[in-house]
Structures are given as C-alpha cells and as structure tokens.
Structure 1
Amino acid sequence: MFSLGEIGEQLKDVSRQSVGVSFAGQSLVLDTADDALQVVEAIKACPCLEYLDLEGNTLGTPAAEVIAEALKEKGTLLKRALWKDMFTGRLKTEIPKALEYLGTALCIASSQLTELDLSDNAFGPIGIEGLANLLASSPCYTLQQLKLNNNGLGISGGKMLAKALEKCYENSSNEGMPLALKVFIVGRNRLENEGAQALASVFERLKTLEEVVMQQNGIYHMGIAAIAKGLSANPNLRVLNLNDNTIGLKGAKALAKALPIFRGLEELNLGDCLLKTKGALVIAEALQIHGNHTSLRNLDLGNNELRMDAGNAIAKAMHDKTLLTNLQLDGNCFGTEGREKLRQILTKLRKIDALNSLDEDYTEDEEEEDDNEDEQSEEDENDNNEDEVSDKDNEEQNNIARSTVVTVAEFMKSPIGEKLLLLQGDVQAFIDYVTNLANQSNTVEQKYIEELLRITMKVSALCDSGYMNVRIKAESLSDALYAKLFSYAVETNQISNFNNALLVNLGLIKSEDKTSGKIDWNLEGCFKALEKIAQRDYFLTQTRSMLKVFLEKPIKTSRANVIDPFQDSKTALKAVLDSIQVT
C-alpha cells in the first residue's frame, strides 16, 4: 500500500538536501589564481553554498587566496568544508598560509560550519598553526564533525589542536552556544601519550562526543587511561576506535571502567592493541553486563594475542547483543580447539553469522606462555615505554646492552626491538652475514639482494616500535642498509631485480618463486621507514616511480568488504613520493 505520509516525508528529505560546489577527485593542480578560476566561478554561481568539496586536488597559496576571496562573499551559508587531500605535493611552508586565507574568509563571511574535514593533508604541527585561529573562531562554534586523519600532527601538533579546541569551547560558551562536537577523527597522527592526554582534557569538557577515532597513534596505557577518563563525560558515545595503539592490561582496565557509561555503544575497535588474554578478559567482563550494550554492532579484537579463555569470554559477552553483525577475532592464538569452542558458543547464542573469518591463527608460531609470565611481560613492556625518556631507565638499558650481545643470526631468528639494541657490530655485520649466505648460492648477486632486502625489512619493521631508542636505531640501520642495497644493485646491474624484490617484500605483488618465505614482518614499520628513505639522494628515481604505481593499486582479496590494513601507511608514503616529484 502507498502511504501519502511517507511520500510527503521523502519529498521533504529531497528538498532538504544540501547544495554546493564539488571538484572532488578531479586531480586539479591549482598553482596560480588563474588555475583556480573555475573553482571561483563555480562558488560565485552557486545560489546557496552549503558545502565546498575540494578533495583530491592540490592548492597552492595564490589559488587558495582567490578561492578565499570568493568565500568572503559566498561563504555565509557554508556548513561543510570538505578539504581532504587538498595539498598533495605542496611545501609545508605553503600550507599554513593557504589555511589562514581560507579560515579568515570564513570568519569574515560569518560561516557556521558543521563539518570540517582536512584529513590526508600531511601538514604536521605547522599546519595547525595556520588552522588554529579558525578552530577557535565563530565559524567553528557550531562544529559537529572534525576530521583530521593522517595529518602527521605529532605530540606538539596534538597539543596545539587541543589548545585551539579549548579556546573554541571557551569562546563559544561565552557566546551562549558551547561547542557541541559529536565526531572527532584524529587517527594516524603519532600523538603518543602527551598528545592523547591533551586532547582527553578537551573530551572531558565537551560531553557531547558520539564518535571518536584515534587509531595508529603510538598511545600506551597512560594515554589510554586519560582518553577513557575524558570520554567518561560523554555518555552518548556510539563509536570508539583505538585500533593499533598499545592498550595492554592497564589500559584495558581503564577502558573497562568507562565502558558501562556508553550504554548506546555501537562500535568498539580495539584490534591490534596488544590486549593479550588478561586485557581481553577485562573488556569482556565490561561488555557482558546484561542490557548495557545492546546496540553493539561491530566489535574488533583481532590481532591481540588472545588465547582460548579470552575467546570464550568474548563470545559469551555477546549474549544480548541482538544487533551484532561484525565480530572480528582473527589473528589471535586460539588454536584449533579454541576456534571450535568459540564457534560453538556463538552458534548456541545465535551470533555465529556475525563472526568474521578465523583464517589467521598464530598459536603454532608462538611458544605457550604461563599467564603470569604473560601478564608480567606486558606490564614491564608498557611501563618501560612510559618511562623511556627517563635518564634512569636509559642508564639501565645501557647497562643491559653492555652485559650481553646478540649476533645477526640471532636477531634474524627473532627480530625484536630488544635484540636490535643488543646487536653486535654495525651495518658491516649484516653485510658479512649476507655475503656468507650469497657465496653459498649459484646466483650470488641475486641471492645477495634477496637476503639483504629481507634483513632490511626486518630491521625497518621496527621503525614502528613504541620505544624511542628502538625506533632511532632501526631508522639509522635501515638508512645504511638501503644505501648498501641501492649501491650494490647499481654496481651489479641488478636494479630491475631489486625493484621487483622490493615490491614482493612490501606485499605489493606476489612472488613468482613459490618457495619464498611468507612476509612475517610488520609492514607498517617498513612503509614508515620508506617515508624517510625515499627522500635520500641514493634512492633511485625509477624505484620511486615504480612504488607510486603499485601503492595506488587496491589490495586483492578473496573476502568481500576487507579493508587494506596498510592503506593509511601507503597513502602517507605516496604523499611523500608525490612531494619529491613536485618540489
């Protein structure tokens, strides 16, 4: 049957659709005022400019200035500034001035923004300098969504952002309209504990947040505890994504205290957070409270080194989650028996359809550990990280380093940060190790490149370590190893083989050699290392060009709706490669 009432509502929805200007995805290079003329004309011709979408183009300062002039006249009704990926290839010194022009224009036009998206613009802390005035001014008093994903803010940028938002809250409160931010996205920004703590104080004042995304920020349990405390003042929180930080048991306990407050929680992503079994048990206990999280749709606890007890507890906690559609527990250590038990519990609870694939299980690859040792190891690891800048701890680490050494062969068997710090010798030790292996092969030159590249991957994987001293040594060694690789490839006319091997080892193409080992190193660190390495003089132009081509290709998978876990890292690396070409 037709319902005139429903049809009337649908017509109202159509009439309420916002109008504006979009040049999204057109890859325009707007260097000069003349280059930006088409954007300016479109803005001036728009009768009711409610959004301006410039995603995927690149604005120089002169272009931003003339667009800003148009916004002074037409920006009064602007609600959504969709400026994602808008400065590819631009110098960091250009971007703050461009942002300042645009921000000033919105202030003059008395805009009232509801959404500001500047994600995927790698402007770093200096970009926040150009953005700070806008964030603290009247156009942002009405802001509901702030998206700053993958901007390279760092600790200082995070603190500056927090200060700007605090000013916005104070200024807007004085005007009788307190900032009521609902969506805050600030993933992949290397905020670490200090940046997270600064922003957590803002969360505590807002009280209106519904979605918070802070994945891949190098945050440890002290920062997580601050976030949990700040978010506790926001009872309407629906989405919390802390993926790929280091939560551990202490962080899990802090989150568990806050979770009961978020009764309408729909999505919780704590994947790849080193929860381990005891941390997951704490989270499961908070989630299993009957009737407290019945709106939960998505739960990600994958890649957390969870064992069977944790899997069972999580499954049982889903007993009243009637809306659950996505339960991600892959990449843990349940074992065959644990996976079967998990499926049995979920089947009995009629939640089995929500469970994602359990194809990856690392039980066979790891030694079984006593729970007490597991917990103590985790606590020691997190505590060491929190105090890594302490002179006392550095002295203790130096004492350890003097007391024992690790050979290259030992490091290769277990390439962890601790062994990298204890490694005997410098880059020459790696060269000697590889030379010995290569001389045992019939194809010495090819074998040399393959083995040295494999070592380089395992070293550069640690460039994503949560420990500063490990990162520093990994970055230094990666630089030296890549220099040797490029030099050898050029001298032996093996550039093509090297480029191909690099793509294979970065997981960008499949190896034609079926006997080659699987990638068992952290690609996140490898991509981060290349952001710096690609800017070195020894890095070949053809290698840069090749990487750009393959970084743009989507991940190939047999499973539907699977997101490339390294897409943010690839995007950041490609941005660096683009900037080298342009500048």
Structure 2
Amino acid sequence: MAADDIAQLVNSLSKTHLGDGELSYKGLGLKLDNADSVEELVQEIERQQDLRVLRLEGNTLGVDAARAIAKALESKDQLQRCYWSDLFTGRLRSEIPVALKSLSSGLMMAGARLTVLDLSDNAFGPDGVKGIDQLLRSDTCHSLRELRLNNCGMGIGGGKILAEALLECHRQSLVAGTPFRLRVFVAGRNRLENEGASALAKAFQTMGSLEEVHMPQNGINHAGVTALAAAMRHNADLRVLNLNDNTFTKRGTLAMAQALGHLRNIQVINFGDCLVRCEGTIALAAVLREGLPVLKELNLSFGEITEAAALVVAQALVDKPHMEKVDLNGNCLGEEGCEALREVLESQDKGDMLASLSDDEGEADDEDDGQDEDDEDADASNGCNGCNEEDFVKENGTAAKEESPSKSHFPEAVSSFLDCPSAEKLLELGEMRKHLLPEVNILDPHKAVEVLLKVASLYSEVPVAKATVLETFDMMLRKLLSGSALQAYTTLSTLLVLIGLLNGEGKTKKMPLTPGLLLCLEHAVQQDYLAQHHASLLHTILSKNRKALKSRSGSMDRFSSALEKRCLN
C-alpha cells in the first residue's frame, strides 16, 4: 500500500466515530479497491468488540475490498445496523452483486441480527437485489425493522425478487418463532411500475407490520396503486404513506380512499403529483370527515384539483385537531380559489397549516373535463398480476370488480323500464321499484346514479306522477347515501359529474340538467337522509360552477335556495 494512500486512510480514520458500538466512515470519499486499501479499516472493525452500527456510506467499494470487510464481519454477531448507501459510485454494475453477496455472507456467518439495512442510492438494478436475496431470506433479517432501498433502479424484476425474499423471510421467521415485523420500507425512484408494486403489495399484506411506506416516483398507475391499497388496509399501525409522483387517477384514488378508512393511526399522507383529480379528492375528503383521527400532514399538491374539490377537503378538516400541514399547491384553484381556500381554513383557526400556493396553475378550463380520458384504458396494458382489486368490496360485501347485475336478473317489467323509462312504466312497477337500484359499488356508483337520474327525468307536476317519482327518488338516494361517507361522497360526485357540474375523468356521457332533476334535488335536500355535510358538498360544488349559475332558471333558484337554507341550519 502506497505511503500516500496510508496517510490518507489514517487521516480519514481519525475522523471516524468510535464508541457506543458505532464505527462510522460516512462521507469520507474513500476509494476502496482491494484488501490492502481496507487493511486499517478491517483492523478497526476487528478491534470493535461490541460493533452494533457500521456506517460505510459515501465511499466506493470494490469486490476485493468487500471480501476483506466481509471476513472481518464474520465475528461481529452484535451488528444490528448497516448504513451502506452510496457505496458503489464508479463501479461496474457486474461488480456490485458480487460485493453485496460477500458482505451478506459475512453478516450471515456472524449470526448477526439486523434491525436496519440501508442500501439507498446504489444503482445496482435487479442484479443488485440478487446480491442481497439470500441475506433477506436468512434468519439474519428476521429481526429487520427498516429496509431502505431508495434510488436503486431495481425495476420490475428487482421488485419481484425483493418481494419473494421478504415473503420467504416471513415464512421462515414464523417457523423459527421470531416473526418478521418490518416497520419501515423505503423504495422510491426504482421504476417498480405496476408489476413490481403489486408483487411487493403481496409481501406487505402478508407481513401486516408496516408503519412507514415510502415509494415515490415509481411509475405506478391505478392498477398498482389498487394493489398497494389492498395491502395497506392490512397494516393497521401504518403512520406514514408516501406515494408521491405516481399516477392514481380516479380508480386508484378511490381504492386508496377505501383503504385509508381502515387506518386509524396514519399521520402523514403524501399523494402529491399523483393526479388524484376532483372525484378522487372528494373521496379522500369523505375519509377525512369520517376517519383518520390523528392525521398531521396531507399532501395533495399538483393533482389537477379544482377550487370546489379543494374546498370540500378543507371543510372536512374541521374536526382534525392534530393537523399541522395541508399542501394543495400546484393545482387548478385560480386566484379567487386560493383566497377562498385560505378563508375556509382561517375560519377553522387552521390558516397557518396551509402550504404555499405559489405554483397554482390557475382555473381549469371547461375543455379539461375529460382530459387524459384514456389514462385507465392505457393502464391495462401495463400489467398488474395479483393487484388484489377483489379485496375492495361493495358496501353490501360484493367484490368491487364484479359487474352490476345484468338486466336479465331483473324482473321483466324493471328491464323494460330501464330500456325505455316512462312515468307510466314507473307507476306500473309498484313494489318492484325496489329492484331498480343496481348493487352499489363503492368504487363505481356510476350505474346506480344513472338509474337515479332516469327516474328524476320523469318528474312532472301531475300529482300521481310527481309523488311516484319523488318517492322512488327518495328510496334510491336514501340507499345510496346510507352507507359510509365514502359511498355517499362518491355517489354525489358521480351525480355532479354526470350532470356537468364537476370535472370528471374519462369519456363520460353527460345527462341534461333538467328542471325535473333540480326539483327532485330540491326535495332531497329537505329530507333527513341527506345530511348537512352532504348538502354542504353540493352547495360548494354548485356555488363554484359559474356555467350553471349563468343559466339560472326558476328550478335552479329553488334548488340553490333550499341548499343555502339547509347549510345554514
């Protein structure tokens, strides 16, 4: 070993932290190529009898140097935390798995029981995951509580390998009587996409022990998000969920909203830059209103959210005493919308929790209503094996992916009415009107709302017809609003989209905003089944829809007046 290299190493070692079981070479920028280059380092490891923490991040490690360090680790059975991020800068990709296998072997030979393994910022790809595969499957990791693999380029293949290793670790830990209870999982910027995320979701669901999940920037869309949502609901102690910069769209957001309803301990939700959009935002507002009792931070920035949907979220925060930060920056609020949002939060004494709105995109154009309408169809080509959509159930317990009953399941008279609605057919149905409403799918009440609107379109001032229409409308809307807040809010947002009062997603055929429908809604807001917060949601959306207000008719006036009266009570 050259004298200059020895001097550099001695100087570097003088800066390390020794004591309390920790040995740190963090950020020293050492180029460790072979056994000679790590001779002094190895001696320090060997001298540290109670080594519990080894920090090697910020250096660059070659294969031969890794073998020498691994040999020294074979006697370190008390080692618990390995911080080995940014450890292979400038190394050939083929070298990294070999080095990782050597280090893994040293840990396993020692019989160490790891609690923290951090290999972030090592661009090792799927082959790098193979380098730690045996380690993760071994009893050395039965005790693992934090696994950090941020920015490692694992890809779909690496995600699948990792998932299988975690599942095997869990299986073997149960056999050994030392259950694997991973608490923190970090894997941002890894190009996991749907298949990698779905594979990991299976592992997460099986473990059920996660407290923090960080998976931003992974190219995951609604199929993978749905799989992760299904897994999250089985992790009751989850406190932090960070899926920033993936693509939820409506379907992914609704699935995630349903999962969040099962999580009582979550404190931080980061769905920024995830395209949650209006319907998804309203679904999240429903969960905010009904659950998430200890939530502290909510990030919905850059989600193509309009003013009305943002205000619904702000109103849902009224009973959230622990809230510290709400981020709605980069959305489509407009100058007036930003001010309205501030006013709502200030009225709740929560004005200081609102993050900057400096990157607001301005009001959304009406032409944006159906933007990216092929998002979800395109998602289908980005495979998602085992995405667990069946884990999401309708309010009555039927699987969410199951279609609504076909018309052949209805009595003939009901099918005839649905094919060609008329007031006469509705009257003739009598008691069979109870069969009009399809099974309610909490993730997609579209079919049920369409039937509701068909009934409302038959409104007339003829006494018998009016009474029948209102009675049927009440019966159906009561059922649609009687479930969870999530079901009620998705029902109302779907209704608002179908009549053109709320920006929707995809190819949605709008139904006319008829005087009959407005009068049915005027009647509904005066009934006990429509709660005040339902009325508040309708009032917020309507009051922010300039197009509807410009064409105010007598029926619109009546509906608006009834809403305002109900909201003031």
TM-score (norm 1): 0.61
| Cα gap change, 1:142 to 1:88, in 2 (>3 Å) | same
Which residue pairs with 1:32 in the alignment? 34
Distance 1:206 1:306 in 2: 34
Which residue pairs with 2:362 in the alignment? 363
Which of 53, 62, 65 aligns to 1:63? It is: 65
Which residue pairs with 1:384 in the alignment? 378
Deviations 1:79-126 (A, max 9, x none): 101101111111111111111111111111000000000000000000
User: In structure 1, what residue type is equivalent to 2:241?
Assistant: L
Distance 1:245 1:46 in 2: 44
Distance 2:155 2:111 in 1: 31
- Give the conservation status (yes or no) of the 8 Å contact 2:245–2:274: yes
Which residue pairs with 2:298 in the alignment? 299
- Give the conservation status (yes or no) of the 8 Å contact 1:216–1:244: yes
Distance 2:212 2:292 in 1: 16
Distance 1:65 1:370 in 2: 58
User: In structure 2, what residue type is equivalent to 1:186?
Assistant: A
Which residue pairs with 1:160 in the alignment? 161
| Cα gap change, 1:18 to 1:262, in 2 (>3 Å) | farther
Distance 2:212 2:347 in 1: 32
| Cα gap change, 1:193 to 1:388, in 2 (>3 Å) | closer
Deviation at 1:370, TM superposition (A): 6.2
Which residue pairs with 1:93 in the alignment? 94
- Give the conservation status (yes or no) of the 8 Å contact 2:195–2:383: no
Which residue pairs with 1:476 in the alignment? none
Distance 1:242 1:370 in 2: 25
Deviations 1:342-361 (A, max 9, x none): 11110011111111111111
| Cα gap change, 1:381 to 1:350, in 2 (>3 Å) | same
- Give the conservation status (yes or no) of the 8 Å contact 2:257–2:284: yes
Deviations 1:41-91 (A, max 9, x none): 221121310110001001000110110011002x20011011011111111
- Give the conservation status (yes or no) of the 8 Å contact 2:223–2:379: no
Deviations 1:483-534 (A, max 9, x none): xxxxxxxxxxxxxxxxxxxxxxxxxxxxxxxxxxxxxxxxxxxxxxxxxxxx
The 5 A counterparts of 1:37-186 are 37-73=39-75, 75-186=76-187
User: In structure 2, what residue type is equivalent to 1:152?
Assistant: G
Distance 2:318 2:266 in 1: 15
- Give the conservation status (yes or no) of the 8 Å contact 2:265–2:293: yes
Distance 2:383 2:220 in 1: 15
| Cα gap change, 1:160 to 1:388, in 2 (>3 Å) | closer
Distance 2:251 2:382 in 1: 17
| Cα gap change, 1:40 to 1:206, in 2 (>3 Å) | same
Deviation at 1:313, TM superposition (A): 1.3
Distance 1:18 1:139 in 2: 22
- Give the conservation status (yes or no) of the 8 Å contact 2:202–2:231: yes
Distance 1:177 1:151 in 2: 29
Distance 1:102 1:88 in 2: 17
The 5 A counterparts of 1:330-409 are 330-363=329-362, 367-369=365-367, 371=369, 373-374=370-371, 377-378=372-373, 380-387=374-381
Which residue pairs with 2:266 in the alignment? 265
Report the 3-state secondary structure (helix = DSSP H, G, I; strand = E; otherwise coil) of the residue aligned with 1:24. Answer: coil
Q: Structure 1 residue 188 and structure 2 residue 186: aligned?
A: no
- Give the conservation status (yes or no) of the 8 Å contact 1:220–1:386: no
Report the 3-state secondary structure (helix = DSSP H, G, I; strand = E; otherwise coil) of the residue aligned with 1:184. Answer: strand
Report the 3-state secondary structure (helix = DSSP H, G, I; strand = E; otherwise coil) of the residue aligned with 2:227. Answer: helix
Report the 3-state secondary structure (helix = DSSP H, G, I; strand = E; otherwise coil) of the residue aligned with 2:219. Answer: coil
User: In structure 1, what residue type is equivalent to 2:28?
Assistant: Q
Report the 3-state secondary structure (helix = DSSP H, G, I; strand = E; otherwise coil) of the residue aligned with 1:146. Answer: strand
Deviation at 1:388, TM superposition (A): 5.4
Distance 1:320 1:46 in 2: 53
Report the 3-state secondary structure (helix = DSSP H, G, I; strand = E; otherwise coil) of the residue aligned with 2:112. Answer: coil
Distance 1:79 1:173 in 2: 20
Report the 3-state secondary structure (helix = DSSP H, G, I; strand = E; otherwise coil) of the residue aligned with 2:36. Answer: coil
- Give the conservation status (yes or no) of the 8 Å contact 2:198–2:227: yes
User: In structure 2, what residue type is equivalent to 1:237?
Assistant: L
Which residue pairs with 1:452 in the alignment? none
| Cα gap change, 1:263 to 1:152, in 2 (>3 Å) | same
Deviation at 1:294, TM superposition (A): 2.7
Deviation at 1:18, TM superposition (A): 4.8
- Give the conservation status (yes or no) of the 8 Å contact 1:259–1:287: no
Distance 1:21 1:351 in 2: 45
Report the 3-state secondary structure (helix = DSSP H, G, I; strand = E; otherwise coil) of the residue aligned with 2:82. Answer: strand
User: In structure 2, what residue type is equivalent to 1:244?
Assistant: D
- Give the conservation status (yes or no) of the 8 Å contact 1:84–1:117: yes
| Cα gap change, 1:174 to 1:241, in 2 (>3 Å) | same
The number of residues matched between the two structures is: 366
Deviation at 1:38, TM superposition (A): 2.7
User: In structure 2, what residue type is equivalent to 1:83?
Assistant: W
The 5 A counterparts of 1:437-452 are none
Q: Structure 1 residue 198 and structure 2 residue 196: aligned?
A: no
Distance 1:339 1:86 in 2: 45
The 5 A counterparts of 1:235-254 are 235-254=236-255
What are structure 1's unaligned runs of at least 5 residues?
1-16, 391-583
Deviation at 1:389, TM superposition (A): 7.6
Distance 2:347 2:367 in 1: 30
Deviation at 1:369, TM superposition (A): 3.4
Distance 2:20 2:163 in 1: 30
User: In structure 1, what residue type is equivalent to 2:326?
Assistant: L
TM-score (norm 2): 0.63
User: In structure 2, what residue type is equivalent to 1:349?
Assistant: Q
Report the 3-state secondary structure (helix = DSSP H, G, I; strand = E; otherwise coil) of the residue aligned with 2:261. Answer: helix
Deviation at 1:171, TM superposition (A): 0.9
Distance 1:251 1:321 in 2: 24
Distance 1:298 1:19 in 2: 35
User: In structure 2, what residue type is equivalent to 1:294?
Assistant: P
User: In structure 2, what residue type is equivalent to 1:300?
Assistant: N
Deviation at 1:367, TM superposition (A): 3.0
Which residue pairs with 1:478 in the alignment? none
Distance 1:348 1:322 in 2: 14
Distance 1:101 1:264 in 2: 39
Which residue pairs with 2:433 in the alignment? none
- Give the conservation status (yes or no) of the 8 Å contact 1:149–1:188: yes
- Give the conservation status (yes or no) of the 8 Å contact 2:307–2:333: yes
